[in-house]
Amino acid sequence: MTAGTQMLAEMSEQPHVLGVLAGRRPELVARLRAALPERPLGIVLVARGSSDHAAVYGRYVLERASGRPVSLAAPSLHTLYEIEADYSGYVAVAVSQSGRTPEIATVLDRLAEAGACTIAITNDADSPLARTARAAVDLGAGPERAVPATKTLTAQIAAFAILAEALGPVPWSGRDWAALPGGVEAVLSDPEPAHRAAEAIGDADGLIAVARGYLYCVALEAALKLKETTAILAEGYSTADFRHGPIAVVERDRPLVAFAARGPAAPDVEALMDEVRVRGGRVIAVSDATDADVSLPRDVPEPLAPIPAAVRAQQLARELALMRGVDPDAPFGLAKVTRTH
């Protein structure tokens, strides 16, 4: 099979997968509401790798919807240090594509023993994780064989948006959901800007990906995808954190890839892009602004924009891998399921 064919095929399924999930919203929200406590004290998310970036998105939308603090679990507290914990009144959400990552399953079991109401987001309704959780969201994305998670990552983001709807008010509407598959389709049918951005990155040894707020997860995800598929040193940052020190690493030969969509976080990202340009650094803007280097659909609002933006990150990683002679379907001998204890 030609290099990158598998990844491209799975990327192209995203409008369909997202459309099906959007259609299942009423059923999923009802199922989740039946399992969730009426007023959770807080929410804890358990994930690794790309799934952890979906959890970073969840961190924002679930806290907004529930009004209660949301935390990303520190798994070693439960697997290595075996602390005594009281999670009664809490909701614990585990995210794993396979539903078979041993560490994630162990942590969810421990949090259940500590009193948490458990929710699983997996791509396999028969997986151990889905079977042991009080309620599960099956992504229905179909098998994913390429090493870089694509359709399962965007489906996980969508699942967190649906979980937010089960918890409280959300900053999007049914119309926004309806626009989502088309927005992703528009991105997929327009790979040329990502190709040009990959050419602009060229043989850089590294880059920094930034965003803020809802889109922060995409900066992390873009950096991971690029590292996985090309071994470039790419690090994801919140624009706010990036100002606290390491801005000097961005220079002519190490571009800044910035993600933004119209909304409260966009001015901060634009300000950082300007700062970097003033310092002589090179900027690749992925946004819904008219002067973007890589466009995002204008009819998907900021709180759902991580989905089309993640697809732009997939395109960018795939193009750069192919340019560097790496097969993005199975780069550097990486395995699909990682065993961590």
Is residue 270 within the footprint of a copy of itself (CB under 8 A)?
no
Q: Which of 100, 106, 195, 251 binds a copy of itself (CB under 8 A)?
A: 251
Q: How many residues bind a copy of itself (CB under 8 A)?
A: 65
Q: Which is nearer to a copy of itself, 90 or 160 (CB)?
A: 90
User: With CB under 8 A as the contact rule, which of the stretches 12-20, 153-161, 189-197, 329-337 interacts with a copy of itself?
Assistant: 329-337
Is residue 3 within the footprint of a copy of itself (CB under 8 A)?
no
Burial class (CB in 10 A: 0-12, 13-18, 19+), 244: exposed
3 state SS of 250 = coil
Q: Which is nearer to a copy of itself, 160 or 188 (CB)?
A: 160
Whole-angstrom Cα distance, residue 336 to residue 339?
Answer: 10
Is residue 182 within the footprint of a copy of itself (CB under 8 A)?
no
**Nearest C-alpha neighbor of 28 from the set 150, 175, 140, 104:** 140
Whole-angstrom Cα distance, residue 96 to residue 130?
Answer: 10
- Residue 313, amino acid: A
* Full 3-state SS string of 110-176: HHHHCCCEEEEEECCCCCHHHHHCCEEEECCCCCCCCCCCCHHHHHHHHHHHHHHHHHCCCCCCHHH
Q: Which is nearer to a copy of itself, 182 or 206 (CB)?
A: 206
Are residues 119 and 93 in contact, defined by beta-carbon separation less than 8 angstroms? yes
Whole-angstrom Cα distance, residue 159 to residue 71?
Answer: 17
Catalytic positions are 336
**Nearest C-alpha neighbor of 6 from the set 341, 256, 327:** 327
Is residue 321 within the footprint of a copy of itself (CB under 8 A)?
no
Q: Which is nearer to a copy of itself, 254 or 282 (CB)?
A: 254
Whole-angstrom Cα distance, residue 304 to residue 22?
Answer: 12
Residue spans of alpha helices (H) in the chain? 5-12, 14-23, 25-35, 50-66, 75-79, 102-113, 128-132, 151-167, 174-188, 192-201, 216-230, 239-243, 266-278, 306-323
Whole-angstrom Cα distance, residue 269 to residue 239?
Answer: 6
Is residue 89 within the footprint of a copy of itself (CB under 8 A)?
yes
Is residue 105 within the footprint of a copy of itself (CB under 8 A)?
no
Q: Which of 26, 264, 274, 277 binds a copy of itself (CB under 8 A)?
A: 264
Is residue 91 within the footprint of a copy of itself (CB under 8 A)?
no
Q: Which is nearer to a copy of itself, 227 or 312 (CB)?
A: 227
Least distance (Å) between residue 278 CB and a copy of itself: 12
Q: Which of 11, 15, 32, 52 binds a copy of itself (CB under 8 A)?
A: 52
- Considering only residues 188 through 207, tell me which ones interact with a copy of itself, judged by CB under 8 A: 205-206
Is residue 64 within the footprint of a copy of itself (CB under 8 A)?
yes
Whole-angstrom Cα distance, residue 52 to residue 94?
Answer: 10
Q: Which of 1, 38, 84, 175 binds a copy of itself (CB under 8 A)?
A: 84
Q: x/- site string to a copy of itself, residues 19 to 48, per CB under 8 A? A: ----------------------xx-x---x
Least distance (Å) between residue 249 CB and a copy of itself: 5
Which residue shows structure tokens 């807080």?
42
User: Rule CB under 8 A: which residues touch a copy of itself?
Assistant: 41-42, 44, 48-50, 52, 59-60, 63-64, 67-77, 80-81, 83-87, 89-90, 103, 205-206, 212-213, 216, 224, 227-228, 231-233, 235, 238, 240-241, 243-249, 251, 254, 264-265, 268, 331-332, 334, 338, 340-341
